[in-house]
Amino acid sequence: MAFFEKPLTRKDVFSIPNIMGYFRILLIPVYVLLYYHAESVKEYYIAAVLVGISGITDMLDGKVARHFNMITELGKVLDPVADKLTLGAMILCLAFRYENMRWLVGLFIVKEGFMGIMGLLLSHYRGRKLDGAKWYGKVCTAFSYVVMFVLFFFLRLPLSLVNALIVCCGVLMVAAWMLYVPVFVKMWKEKD
């Protein structure tokens, strides 16, 4: 079975929402480098503004796709990939600033690796795919985005608050991951 049910057209590849997704992915190395090499508060804020622009673009691409009937199979893959790359890059950046963020990097990689591998296995061997994120996955992603943006933007938060936010993100990631396991198992066991 092919990854996409039908061949992609130029219109699919270059739809406005998909261009927004490409833009979000292209922003990642820019704000990562800015954040990593920041020597002043202003440079940290510039990186935070770019993350904010990425977040706004993320909200807009879905609205534009739905409103103007521009939903594509590529967009259904591109948007969550851009989400995960963006969130992973933010977590990685913050791991250089906050030591306790490092275990969250590992957890994020393991969770998203599991999700990606299961998605590929289901698609290849069972011809099935998860049709969009579940509510608990969306809650986890939204909360994590908000926390990472807060940590990007507010540089002088008390370390105890930072650590509490990191733990909350970790708990939500584990909870979402564990809630997805039975979904994947059920999809794997379903007969054609």
Average pLDDT over residues 42-57: 94
Instruction: Decide if 137 contacts 111 (C-beta within 8 A).
Output: no
**Per-residue pLDDT reduced to its tens digit, 56-88:** 999 999 899 999 999 988 998 899 999 999 999
Q: Which CATH code, of 1.10.10.10, 3.40.50.2300, 1.20.120.1760, 3.30.70.270, is assigned to 10-189?
A: 1.20.120.1760
Handedness of CA 49, 88, 61, 134 (dihedral sign): negative
DSSP 97: T
Average pLDDT over residues 84-98: 96
Q: What pLDDT score does 129 carry?
A: 82
Instruction: Decide if 180 contacts 134 (C-beta within 8 A).
Output: yes
Q: Residue 106: pLDDT above 90?
A: yes
Q: Which amino acid is at 152?
A: F
pLDDT band of residue 2 (cuts 50, 70, 90) is low
Higher pLDDT, 29 or 126: 29
Instruction: Decide if 51 contacts 90 (C-beta within 8 A).
Output: yes
Q: What pLDDT score does 96 carry?
A: 94
User: Which of 34-73 are b and which e, b meaning 16 or more Cβ less than 10 Å from the residue's Cβ?
Assistant: bbeebeeeeebebbbebbeebbebbeebeebbeeeebbbe
Q: What pLDDT score does 64 carry?
A: 95
